[in-house]
Amino acid sequence: MKTYDAIVVGAGHNGLANAAFLAKAGLDVLCLEKNPYIGGAAVSLNLYEDWIYSNCSYVCSLLRPEIYRSLDLARHGLQVTPYGGGMTFMENGDYLGAYWDSETRYKEYSRFSKHDADAYERYSADTMRQCRFIRDFMMRTPPDPTSFKPRDLMELMAIGKKFYEMGEDRMYDTVRFWTQSVAEYLDEYFETDVIKTALSGSGIIGTALGIHSPGTAYVLLHHYMGEVDGNVGAWGFARGGMGAVSQAIANSFQSYGGEIRTNAGVEQILVKNGKVTGVALTSGEEISARVVVSNMDVKRTFMKCMDEKDLPEDFLHRVKNFKIRGSSGKLNIALDGLPTFPALPKGSPLLDGDMHFIDSMERMELAFDDWKEGTWSKDPYVDMLIPTITDPTMAPPGKHFMSCFVQYCPEKIEGRAWTNEERDAFGKTVIDQIAKYSPDFKDLILHVEIRTPQDIENEAGLTEGNIFHGELTMDQLLFNRPVPGYAQYRGPVKGMYMCGSSTHPGGGVMAAPGANAAREILSDLKRQNTVPENFGDD
């Protein structure tokens, strides 16, 4: 029987990227996927007639340009188009537009406050500074601060040096930024509630924390550090839906001779004498490999697909207590036409971007209080987009696809499973909220897919439906991610690696965890590294 050099479990974007870099180095790599389609949470699915749904992840920005280039994704069919616009609808009938052009944004913010319109520039420079600080570490393996190995010490020194180079004043800002809540961070720049509200959303997306919870300023950064062609902080659509990202990486992988098998769910990662030997599929088939890489989140990997006795007790304890909380839901909607929003002038370019329907910091925080009580937000923070305005390939001409990301939505309702009635009620909450600002919206709906965290877990395999494979809190970042002492992509069993978003630098369609893991594997196998370094000074 054939023995692969490496098996990657899960054909999500990270799994595929990892597989691609390994294959590029000449390894014989097999990527296994339980679903009939590849992509994990970055998929384009045809769930209603001729509509294509980006039904999980829906926008692209964090994908590292180094990986994009190095895996030749453009030639493999990926095209990312940035979008501008976006707005926050206000209960009083007004709205706050998010314009791409800085002078127009100045004018828009000035309608509310000249002070805030000016302050945005400083806010933006300060936030960018933090982005630059952290972005360098995206394509690097976190050092172990408890280790005395030269490599760890050098990496720690590199972080220290970069920190030191910021200068005294900005070092303090950095200390504060990393520990502050997004609400407090914004309070230091802005005075207008709706402006703060509009900016605060990035601090909680995908996170089981409220805008007032310390640590959420970092989450904001996590959403800002992406870029589209050097436009840092910009977001874009993958032409053909987010599945195009996975497909392009898969094409790249296959071009290096890699092999993908779908409908091949892994039951168990096999271990013999403290060393990985391969995997057993749910079908009973066993495939052997020298290296097994898991793209699944740590809980799924170690609690479902490995034998407890093969794992160190303290490691397993940390995995069991790894925080991976379902806090977001999703509605995917097929529309018969473009809904109108009377608050906006006809033809407003703002429609191209993310639309939000919460206009105060108090409402943002109240949405979190519902989640804490084990139910979905009755007045949720919805990040709504109509990708078909930019990407016509996703729906028939004149028709539209709408993606609604919903914060907060728990994995369980008051500790028990969701009922169908509750799922429908959750959907209704979101639809009603949008319909308040768009009278013709409901009539245009042809099909709705409502996804609670439970549904996302069942389909995409994300534990609790957590989009980041684990909370982005300080105990689960950098050298603490996923588990202190195991942040360098190596599992606790020889030959076993982790490459999913549970590892540094975390979630979002970034592909950095997959790439970083590949670098470590190649180094262990004494193969030439195929993983690029970051572009630097951006």
Partner 1 sequence: MSERFDAILIGAGHNGLVCAGLLAKAGKRVLVLEANDQVGGAAVTRPFADGYSVSSCAHLLYQLQPAVSKDLGLKLDYAAKKMETIALAESGNHIRYSGSEVDGVSDEDKKSYKAFHKRMSGFADLLQKYFNKTPPRLGTKDKKDLFTLAQLGFDVRRMGKTEMRELLRLIGINIFDETEERFSNPALKGAVSLDAVLGTHLGPRSPNTIMTYIYRLCAGHGAVSLPSGGMGSVTQAIAQAARDNGAVIRTGVRVKRVVVDNGRVAGVETEGGETLESWIVVSNAGPKTTVMDLVQTRHFETGFIRRVNNIRAKGNAAKLHLALDGLPSFKGLEKKDYGQRLLIAGDSDYVERAFNPAKYGRCSTEPVMEITFPSVHDKSLAPPGKHVMSAIVQYVPYGLHDGWDESAKEAFKQTAINTLAKYAPDIADKITAAELLTPLDLENEFNLPGGHWHHGELTLDQFLFVRPVGGAAQYAMPLDGLYLCGAGAHPGGGVMGAAGRNAAREILSREK
Partner 2 sequence: MTIHEVPQKRLTTPFYPRLTELDRLNNWHSWKGYTSTDALYDPELEYFAIRNSTGVFDLSPMTKYRITGPDSLDYINRLVTRDMNKIKPGRVAYAVWCNDQGQIIDDGTIFHLREGEYRLCSQERHLPWLVSAAIGFDVSIVEETAEVAGLAVQGPTSFSILRTLGLSGIEELKPFGLTHFDFEGSELMVSRTGFTGDLGYELWIEPAKALALWDALFEAGKLYGITAIGTHALEMARIEAGYIAAVTDFLPAELTVRSGRSRSPFELGLDWLVDFKKPTFNGRRALAEEKRRGSNWRLVKLDIDGNKPANHSYIYTKKNGKRIQAGFTTSAMWSPVCKQNIAIGTVNTPYGNVGDTMQVEIYYQREMLWTRVMADAVVVDKPFWDPARRRATPPGNY
Residues that bind partner 1 (CB under 8 A): 145-146, 164, 166-169, 171-173, 175-177, 179-180, 184, 187-188, 209, 212-215, 314, 321, 323, 362, 365-366, 369, 372, 473-475, 479-480, 484-485
Residue 209 contacts which entry, partner 2, partner 1, none (Cβ below 5-8 A, type-dependent): partner 1
| CA–CA dist 213, 342 (Å, integer) | 35
Peptide bond preceding 106: is omega within 30 degrees of 0, i.e. cis? no
Minimum Å distance from CB 474 to partner 1?
Answer: 3
Minimum Å distance from CB 126 to partner 2?
Answer: 8
| CA–CA dist 330, 450 (Å, integer) | 6
Residue 176 contacts which entry, partner 1, partner 2, none (Cβ below 5-8 A, type-dependent): partner 1
Q: What values do phi and psi take at 237, rounded to 5?
A: -100, 140
Residue 122 contacts which entry, partner 1, partner 2, none (Cβ below 5-8 A, type-dependent): partner 2
Minimum Å distance from CB 321 to partner 1?
Answer: 5
List helix spans (H) across 111-209.
114-135, 150-165, 168-179, 182-187, 193-200
Of 82 and 206, which CB lies nearer to partner 2 in the complex structure? 82
Minimum Å distance from CB 279 to partner 1?
Answer: 30
Of 48 and 112, which CB lies nearer to partner 2 in the complex structure? 112
Minimum Å distance from CB 179 to partner 1?
Answer: 4
Peptide bond preceding 505: is omega within 30 degrees of 0, i.e. cis? yes
Q: What values do phi and psi take at 56, rounded to 5?
A: -120, -100
Of 8 and 117, which CB lies nearer to partner 2 in the complex structure? 117
Residue 213 contacts which entry, partner 1, partner 2, none (Cβ below 5-8 A, type-dependent): partner 1
Are 26 and 5 contacting, i.e. CB atoms less than 8 angstroms apart?
no
Closest C-alpha to 155, from 530, 496, 478: 478
Determine the distance from the C-alpha atom of residue 150 to the mean position of all C-alpha atoms in its chain, rounded to a whole number.
32
Please, which residues bridge with residue 12 across strands? 39
Of 375 and 403, which CB lies nearer to partner 1 in the complex structure? 375
| CA–CA dist 497, 86 (Å, integer) | 40
Minimum Å distance from CB 470 to partner 1?
Answer: 13
Residue 254 contacts which entry, partner 2, partner 1, none (Cβ below 5-8 A, type-dependent): none
Place of tokens 């060393």: 275
Of 95 and 371, which CB lies nearer to partner 2 in the complex structure? 95
| CA–CA dist 278, 270 (Å, integer) | 5
Minimum Å distance from CB 490 to partner 1?
Answer: 16
Residue 307 contacts which entry, partner 2, partner 1, none (Cβ below 5-8 A, type-dependent): none
CA atoms within 13 A on the CB side of 426: 37
Of 370 and 455, which CB lies nearer to partner 1 in the complex structure? 370
| Residues in contact with partner 2 by the rule CB under 8 A | 92-95, 97, 99, 101, 103-104, 106-108, 111, 114-115, 118-119, 121-122, 125, 128-129, 132, 165-167, 169-170, 189, 343-345, 348-349
Residue 348 contacts which entry, partner 2, partner 1, none (Cβ below 5-8 A, type-dependent): partner 2
Residue 365 contacts which entry, partner 1, partner 2, none (Cβ below 5-8 A, type-dependent): partner 1
Residue 179 contacts which entry, partner 1, partner 2, none (Cβ below 5-8 A, type-dependent): partner 1
| CA–CA dist 39, 242 (Å, integer) | 9
| CA–CA dist 450, 441 (Å, integer) | 16
Minimum Å distance from CB 160 to partner 2?
Answer: 15
Residue 26 contacts which entry, partner 2, partner 1, none (Cβ below 5-8 A, type-dependent): none
CB atoms within 10 A of CB 430: 25
Of 290 and 323, which CB lies nearer to partner 1 in the complex structure? 323
Minimum Å distance from CB 128 to partner 1?
Answer: 19
Of 173 and 286, which CB lies nearer to partner 2 in the complex structure? 173
| DSSP labels, 53-93 | E--S---B--S-HHHHHHTTTTTTT--EEE----EEE-TTS
CB atoms within 10 A of CB 313: 9
Q: For the purposes of burial, counting CB atoms within 10 Å of the CB of 140, is it exposed (0-12), middle (13-18) or buried (19 or more)?
A: middle
Closest C-alpha to 402, from 55, 82, 46: 55
Minimum Å distance from CB 145 to partner 1?
Answer: 7
Minimum Å distance from CB 17 to partner 2?
Answer: 29
Q: What values do phi and psi take at 432, rounded to 5?
A: -65, -40
Joined together, the tokens standing for residue 312 give 């160190």
Minimum Å distance from CB 11 to partner 1?
Answer: 31
Of 128 and 478, which CB lies nearer to partner 2 in the complex structure? 128
| CA–CA dist 62, 468 (Å, integer) | 12
Are 514 and 17 contacting, i.e. CB atoms less than 8 angstroms apart?
yes
Residue 119 contacts which entry, partner 2, partner 1, none (Cβ below 5-8 A, type-dependent): partner 2
Of 187 and 285, which CB lies nearer to partner 1 in the complex structure? 187
Closest C-alpha to 43, from 315, 360, 394, 300: 394
Residue 74 contacts which entry, partner 2, partner 1, none (Cβ below 5-8 A, type-dependent): none
Element (H, E) at 248: helix 243-255
Of 468 and 479, which CB lies nearer to partner 1 in the complex structure? 479
Of 118 and 379, which CB lies nearer to partner 2 in the complex structure? 118
